[in-house]
Amino acid sequence: MLISPMISRALEEPVGLEAAAMNPHDASDAFRLAAHALFDDWRHDPAVKTKPARRIRVSARSRVPAVLDGEPILLPADSTVKFLPKAFRALAPRPPAAEDTV
């Protein structure tokens, strides 16, 4: 799993994507992981490893299912994901002045 630094709770600075690998070995590991996800943070489970990454290569026998901006897509079987800290700039309206809101 790759998580944007904008929504990651593990990365304090946008140094890359949060790469998370989950490897439960049996049903009890899967239930423990689910319990962590429900009651605290799935990152605390011993079956989970996370670290920041700037470039990730994905390789599989067939196309790789992925979700980008909430849209399901199929990546090619051999794909590379790169973190670009300033990929685009967005324009947004200036928020109202503090004295105008109560």
49, 32 Cβ separation under 8 angstroms: no
pTM of the model: 0.63
pLDDT per residue as tens, the chain (102 positions): 787 777 677 766 767 888 888 888 999 999 998 999 899 888 888 888 888 888 989 899 999 988 877 789 899 999 998 888 776 667 777 777 655 555
pLDDT for position 57? 92
DSSP letter string over the chain?
-EE-TTT-SS-SS-SSEEEEEE---SHHHHHHHHHHHHHS-GGGSTTEEEEEESEEEEE-SS-EEEEETTEEEEE-SEEEEE--TTS-----PPPPPGGG--
Query: Residues with Cβ < 8 Å from 41, sequence gap 6 or more?
Result: 9
pLDDT for position 69? 74
